[in-house]
Amino acid sequence: MITLITNIKELIQVRETPIPKVSGAEMAILPTIKNAYLVIKDNLIAGFGSMENIPEIKADSTIDATGKMILPSWCDSHTHIVYAGNREQEFVDRINGLSYEEIANRGGGILNSAKKLNETSEEEIYNQSKARLEEVMRLGTGAVEIKSGYGLTVDGELKMLRVIKKLAENYPVTIKATFLGAHAFPLEFKENKKGYIDEIIYKMLPEIAKNKLADYVDVFCETGYFSVEETEQIMEAGIQNGLIPKIHVNQFNSIGGIQASVKYKALSVDHLEIMNPEDIQALKNTETMPVALPSCSYFLSIPYTPAREMIKAGLPIALATDYNPGSTPSGNMNFVVATACIKMKMTPEEAINAATINGAYAMGVSDTHGTITVGKKANFILTKPITSYYQLPYAFGTNLIESVFIEGKIFE
């Protein structure tokens, strides 16, 4: 099946020679072709170029994209969209003056979600989660990482990972699974942290490895959650079980988690709202991708990741949603891109690079996603008629997407 799209006002993020990521000053460069065509063969990108040089193509169907633009689908490398229920009451509690930490200390937060998840059937969790997945796909996401972490028991964590696996089997979107058993300490282990870490290392990880339920291992490395030493222990055990680290760090405090993550060759370090010069220095010339989650900062009214300082230091940045019930109940990558421009002072070019090519890198799918490149998946966004791609972050409250193509087909 060959589909030809013609008269594309601008074809964005075209990379004839594939590169895994862009860093520093390169993030400001977004290669495009104006008045372009794009060829899809089955589920892959088969060709593209300027309309002036379009060859004769025998297409099964042709789409005229006059006035519209095409860019790769968003690659959302950090989500928690498999969960049960919601935490609307905590939202109101925060409006009334309670902090994220105060809510957690009285049994809310992650422990609240864990209680709900363990009381909810696997089928019901799947049904709730698939609705969220379909929503983010319609908003332009073509690759998504999903974490466990609301089970906090052997059964609960495995249940979540099975749901993630089932979503991956039933939907054309590319899904990567991350094991985040080290998201918080369950109440019964509050005075026995070693006991829970032993559960993770000796019970959860071997089962996950045996059943091939995850690609990555994550830890919430933060004051009041998992220490740097505990994080290193879990990263090491994860690596021994074939999982690559992707770590939550520096959300509220800088405690050395970035340095530990780099030491264990983490694929990404995520959050980074609090960054000191030593943290930025530790990330230089590494293979670890810094990931910012601006809609979390927006929702919790906490600082934003200092993107300008990091880009100036030559670092790459990826953007992700952090879609979860407590601190970011939204999987809208369009809003993330806009918020990165508005609040983090990233240029539209930097933000689009961060949400496509660098997002793909941060979830290990650079070979297949993140750019308009021959041989990559035909996962892309067709916009409504727009004046320029600047309109995407500028008109932050408007849905400017006409169609989302996943594996070469429009996702309805």
Report pLDDT for 73. 98
CA-based angle 243:210:325, to the nearest 5?
Answer: 60
Report pLDDT for 103. 85
C-beta atoms surrounding 163 within 10 Å? 26
Average pLDDT on 192-211 reads 97
On the question of pLDDT at 369 being above 80, the answer is yes
* Least confident stretch, 89-103, 125-139, 337-351: 89-103
Lookup: tokens for 176: 């990567």
Report pLDDT for 165. 98
d(CA 162, CA 148): 10
Q: What is the pLDDT of residues 70-101, one digit of tens each?
A: 999 999 999 999 999 999 989 999 899 988 77
Q: Which residue has the higher pLDDT, 90 or 68?
A: 68
pLDDT confidence tier of residue 392, bands split at 50, 70 and 90: very high
Mean pLDDT of the chain: 96
Report pLDDT for 158. 98
Report pLDDT for 104. 79
On the question of pLDDT at 133 being above 80, the answer is yes
Whether the CB-CB separation of 320 and 332 falls below 8 Å is answered with no
For residue 136, the one-letter residue type is V
Instruction: Give me the sheet containing 318-319, strands edge to edge.
Output: 74-76, 141-147, 174-182, 216-221, 244-249, 268-271, 289-292, 318-319
Residue 219: which of 207, 227, 231 has the closest Cα? Answer: 231
pLDDT confidence tier of residue 111, bands split at 50, 70 and 90: confident
Residue 320: which of 282, 284, 283, 290 has the closest Cα? Answer: 290
pLDDT confidence tier of residue 153, bands split at 50, 70 and 90: very high
Q: What is the pLDDT of residues 206-219, one digit of tens each?
A: 999 999 999 999 99
Whether the CB-CB separation of 48 and 39 falls below 8 Å is answered with yes
Average pLDDT on 340-359 reads 98
